[in-house]
Structure 1
Amino acid sequence: MKNKLISILLVAVLLSGAAVFVLVRQCKQFKEDRDKYQSNTTALLSNIKRMQVDSTTTAVDVKQLRLTLDEYKQYRAEDAKIIEKLGVKLKDLQAVAKHTVEVNAPIQAGLKDSVIVRDTLIVPVKTLAVKTPHIRINGIIENDSLHGNIHLPVNLHQAVWVEPKHKFLWWRWGVKAVHQTISSDNPYVEIKYSEMIKLEK
Structure 2
Amino acid sequence: MKKALFLYALAITALLLCTLRHYRSENRRLEQNQTALTSDLHHYRTRLGEEAASAQALRLRCAEFERLRDADAERIRALGIRLRRLEAASKHVTRTEVTLRAPLGDSLLQPAAPTQDPLRRTPHEALLPDSLRRFRWSDPWVTVEGILGRDSVACRIESRDTLRQIVHRIPRRFLFIRWGTKALRQEIISSNPHTRIVYSEYIRIER
Using structure 2 for the length normalisation, give the TM-score: 0.82
CA contact (8 A) 1:62 1:181 kept: yes
The one-letter code of the counterpart of 2:50 is T
Which deviates further from its counterpart, 53-62 or 143-152?
53-62
CA contact (8 A) 2:88 2:205 kept: yes
| In the alignment, structure 1 residue 183 sits paired with structure 2 residue 183 | no
Query: 1:41 Cα shift?
Result: 1.7
Query: 2 CA distance for matches of 1:167 and 1:119?
Result: 80
Distance 1:20 1:48, change over 3 A: same
The one-letter code of the counterpart of 1:132 is D
Task: Select which of 153, 158, 163 maps to 2:165.
Answer: 158
Task: Select which of 78, 85, 97 maps to 1:92.
Answer: 85
CA contact (8 A) 1:56 1:186 kept: no
Q: Note the alpha carbon deviations across 1:73-130, whole angstroms, 9 max, x for none.
A: 0000001111222232211111111101112111321221224156677961111100
The one-letter code of the counterpart of 1:158 is Q
Distance 1:186 1:24, change over 3 A: same
Task: Select which of 1, 5, 20 maps to 1:27.
Answer: 20
Query: 1:59 Cα shift?
Result: 0.2
Which ranges in structure 2 are unaligned for 5 or more consecutive residues?
115-127
Distance 1:44 1:141, change over 3 A: same
CA contact (8 A) 2:110 2:132 kept: no
Which ranges in structure 1 are unaligned for 5 or more consecutive residues?
1-6
Task: Select which of 85, 94, 101 maps to 1:101.
Answer: 94
| In the alignment, structure 1 residue 193 sits paired with structure 2 residue 199 | yes
Using structure 1 for the length normalisation, give the TM-score: 0.84
CA contact (8 A) 1:58 1:185 kept: yes
The one-letter code of the counterpart of 1:108 is R
CA contact (8 A) 1:100 1:191 kept: yes
Which deviates further from its counterpart, 119-128 or 180-189?
119-128
Q: Note the alpha carbon deviations across 1:130-150, whole angstroms, 9 max, x for none.
A: 011221111112232111311
Distance 1:62 1:17, change over 3 A: same
